[in-house]
Amino acid sequence: MATIYHNPRCSKSRQTLEILRTQGVEPDIVLYLETALNRDRLLDLLSKLGLSASQLVRRSEQDFKDNNLSAPGTTEEQLLEAMLKYPKLIERPIVVVGDRAVLGRPPENVMELL
């Protein structure tokens, strides 16, 4: 069973979902902007992705800038807390199959899981 952490307003997220469906996979869809992730789930996703918080954060978002998260000395913990508070900061989409996950940037990355 596949799960996609999806933002329907994001073209890459929509494209990734379409690839999954074209491949005959109807994933569980988590609208993470509406249903906030908890700390354990975010840490689990980071582990499955093999990424750090700094690799998953969207630096172009206004919340990133408004909270001065690019300041020298910003810790992984601070970035993690910011992503929990402002889920738009989480790069998307994330697709999980079992104990593996990929970031759908580019959307074709999802093929690694299928």
Two tokens, residue 6: 């999806």
Tokens 């329907």 map to which residue?
Answer: 8
Q: Which of 1, 6, 9, 10 is catalytic?
A: 10
What is the rounded end-to-end Cα distance, in angstroms, of the chain? 10
Two tokens, residue 105: 């940037």
CA distance 106 to 78: 27
Are the C-beta atoms of residues 48 and 101 closer than 8 Å to each other? yes
10 a catalytic residue: yes
Residue 68 one-letter amino acid: N
Report the catalytic residues: 10
